[in-house]
Structure 1
């Protein structure tokens, strides 16, 4: 609440006076110098200067004037959304939406399935099962679901191992460490331009590699690396959208990206149990296919960080 408005946004609105004051404030706080010593005295851009009009809008107005202003804002909003359905932003937005849908479907399917995997593995280990692979876990869960109700105990007798909670905490800690290590590297242009493609490519093999995990330790390490890379990818695609799309389209685009991500999360948790009922291999083939689609879209996603402010 104490941060200033974005000067780029204010300039896109045509409010150059407020944008200049905002830049002077940032200069004053960062440089510990007087605002008047800020070297830039005048701002200019393709958007016409509307500073006086915006400053006068604060006065009281009649009902007719308010209705006219609301109508103008609605039409202006429609004009701002219109470029989303035209070249070049239509194809770019479709790529971004599909990419985010696929990656959120995969990452949330694994993330929400993971506690059940760890709990089942530890139960199987305590009961003396020799095979604690992913296929054995899937088969064990399927048997528990299809067991006749007459065979179930009336009393709920659960014995959760503390190790299953420790595994989930470790996965989250590795994710935090991964974010801390990777963000300083994003200053390097080569890393920033290719991190999404490289991480999605690696994640495709990691999610497929869960199929071959034989014990809880390997499962924890593979899933931790996978969730860390995918978390970075999800953050990266949102950050890239800020650069790809103009300022006036950005809010709508980000909301649609998050909406498609929510759709992916819901559909993933609906589809995963269906594939688990089919066979042990089916959910991993499904996740690998979605990851491949996400990687395909990322290859054709180009970012120009030198474009003009818009």
Structure 2
């Protein structure tokens, strides 16, 4: 409809009505669609006369200028501040979640290797120390270490973490229909995740590492999905595609940045990466607190 193609829009509405109501398309109560945009169904359906090259160029130029004009609200009040807030929030949370998620297989493999060698201390500091020692070993020792990393238990831990994440999504999505849940789930989960990611520093066993990391990754995955869904409510229709693309772009930048910075913090000390992740989680939580979402506003 925003492009003036009312014929296809009405056809889509009729199909939706038929699926939802189990009635014929002809019984759909709306017979005509109206909008300030002129009806251009004939041009868009290809039923009009063929256009010249000059006309097509002029039409393409007009569409481009219209697209640029539609982006103007992104750089003005109130959407500029809101969009920057959403971008920074998604950047921080994806940096945190992917730093842990991509590091987790190595953690499980190292813990299983240490347990097979009879180590009593499998804390995060012990894991970091073990990896540092492995990096300094000769080639023969590295081959032995690599063989230890292929213990089936390390794969099982990752499968369990993924399974817990699936169950978490299946449980939480039906609850999103409750308004109080949808309004506060982002800030509540981010607040909980601050303590979960910090708690990884204090765990001593592979079982507790698996449980805490599984809960953390599940909650953070729900938060990442929620902020993307929330943007549909916050921004007008003609801005949503561009906003979603920018949100995903900032998320991927956060993922790359996190995996570049994490080894640097690991080299500083055992505590440094966890303080860094807790700080990022706190920043993301503060952004979520000040993010106002009105799910009753009109979908302009």
TM-score, normalisation: structure 1: 0.91
After superposition, the C-alpha distances for 1:38-58 in whole angstroms (9 at most, x for unaligned) are: 1233444xx51322x242243
Alignment-derived partner of residue 209 in structure 2: 219
C-alpha RMSD over aligned residues? 1.5
Partner residue of 2:246 out of 256, 261, 267: 256
Alignment-derived partner of residue 12 in structure 1: 2
Alignment-derived partner of residue 3 in structure 1: none
Whole-Å separation in 2 of the counterparts to 1:87 and 1:161: 55
Count residues with an aligned counterpart: 294
Alignment-derived partner of residue 6 in structure 1: none
Whole-Å separation in 1 of the counterparts to 2:38 and 2:210: 56
Whole-Å separation in 1 of the counterparts to 2:237 and 2:180: 25
Q: Judge conservation of contact 1:118–1:216 (CA < 8 Å) in 2.
A: yes
Alignment-derived partner of residue 271 in structure 1: 261
Whole-Å separation in 2 of the counterparts to 1:134 and 1:244: 40
Alignment-derived partner of residue 36 in structure 2: 48
Whole-Å separation in 2 of the counterparts to 1:302 and 1:128: 52
Whole-Å separation in 2 of the counterparts to 1:273 and 1:141: 11
Task: Report the secondary structure of 1:12's partner residue.
Answer: coil
Whole-Å separation in 2 of the counterparts to 1:297 and 1:96: 8
Alignment-derived partner of residue 97 in structure 1: 87
Q: Judge conservation of contact 2:134–2:142 (CA < 8 Å) in 1.
A: no
Partner residue of 1:240 out of 230, 233, 236: 230
Give how far 1:86 is off: 0.5
Task: Report the secondary structure of 2:143's partner residue.
Answer: coil
Whole-Å separation in 2 of the counterparts to 1:264 and 1:301: 20
Give how far 1:309 is off: 2.4
Give how far 1:140 is off: 1.1
Give how far 1:18 is off: 2.8
What residue ranges of structure 2 are gaps of 5+ in the alignment?
Answer: none
Give how far 1:210 is off: 0.3
**Does the alignment pair 1:66 with 2:56?**
yes
After superposition, the C-alpha distances for 1:18-67 in whole angstroms (9 at most, x for unaligned) are: 322211111112212122211233444xx51322x242243421110011
Alignment of 1:108-257 (within 5 A): 108-145=98-135, 147=136, 151-153=138-140, 156-157=143-144, 158-159=147-148, 160-257=150-247
**Does the alignment pair 1:32 with 2:19?**
no
Q: Judge conservation of contact 2:7–2:41 (CA < 8 Å) in 1.
A: no
Q: Which sits farther off after the overlay, 24-33 or 281-290?
A: 24-33
The runs of at least 4 consecutive aligned structure 1 residues that moved more than 4 Å come to none
Q: Which sits farther off after the overlay, 286-295 or 23-32?
A: 23-32
What residue ranges of structure 1 are gaps of 5+ in the alignment?
Answer: 1-10
Task: Report the secondary structure of 1:130's partner residue.
Answer: coil
After superposition, the C-alpha distances for 1:175-202 in whole angstroms (9 at most, x for unaligned) are: 0000000000000000000000000000
Give how far 1:242 is off: 1.0
Give how far 1:247 is off: 1.0
Alignment-derived partner of residue 281 in structure 1: 271
Q: Which sits farther off after the overlay, 239-248 or 25-34?
A: 25-34
Q: Judge conservation of contact 1:16–1:49 (CA < 8 Å) in 2.
A: no
**Does the alignment pair 1:306 with 2:293?**
no
After superposition, the C-alpha distances for 1:186-222 in whole angstroms (9 at most, x for unaligned) are: 0000000000000000011100000001010000000
